[in-house]
Amino acid sequence: MDKDLLSIQEARDKADQAYQAWLQWSKASQQEVDRVCQAMADAAYEASERLGVLAAEETGFGISAHKKLKNQFGSRNVWESIKDIKTVGVIAHDERKKIYEIAWPMGVIAALIPSTNPTSTVMFKTLIAVKARDAIVHAPHPSAIRCCNETAQVMADAAERAGAPRGLVACLQNVSLPATQELMHHKRVALILATGGTPMVRAAHSVGKPAYGVGPGNVPVYVDRSADLEKAARYIVASKAFDCSTICATEQSVLPDRPIAARLKQLMQQEGAYFCNEEQTNALRGALFHPDASINTATVGKTADFVAAYAGFSVPPGTKVLVAPIASVGKDEYLAHEKLTTVLAWHEVNGWEEGCDASISMIQFGGRGHTQIIYAEDEKVIMAFGLEKPVFRILVNTMGSLGAIGLTTGLMPSLTLGSGGVGGAITGDNITVYHMYNVKRLAYALQVPPLAEINAAPVTNAASETLDASEIEKIVREIVTEVLRK
DSSP 8-state code for residue 115: S
| Beta bridge partner(s), residue 193 | 111, 212
What are φ and ψ of residue 97, in 5° steps?
A: -85, -5
| Beta bridge partner(s), residue 22 | none
- What is the spatial distance between Cα 415 and Cα 431, in angstroms, rounded to a whole number? 8
Contact 119, 91 (CB under 8 A): no
Strand, helix or coil for residue 194? strand
- What is the spatial distance between Cα 361 and Cα 331, in angstroms, rounded to a whole number? 8
Q: Which amino acid is at 287?
A: A
3-state secondary structure 278-307: HHHHHHHHHHHECCCCCECHHHCCCCHHHH
- What is the spatial distance between Cα 4 and Cα 87, in angstroms, rounded to a whole number? 38
Give burial (CB, 10 Å; 0-12/13-18/19+) of 282. Answer: middle
Q: Catalytic residue, from 37, 147, 244, 248: name it.
A: 248
301: left (phi over 0), alpha (psi -120 to 50) or beta: left
| Rg of the chain over all Cα atoms, to the nearest angstrom | 28
- What is the spatial distance between Cα 152 and Cα 147, in angstroms, rounded to a whole number? 9
207: left (phi over 0), alpha (psi -120 to 50) or beta: alpha
Q: 356 an active-site residue?
A: no
What are φ and ψ of residue 118, in 5° steps?
A: -70, -55
**Residues carrying an active site annotation:** 248
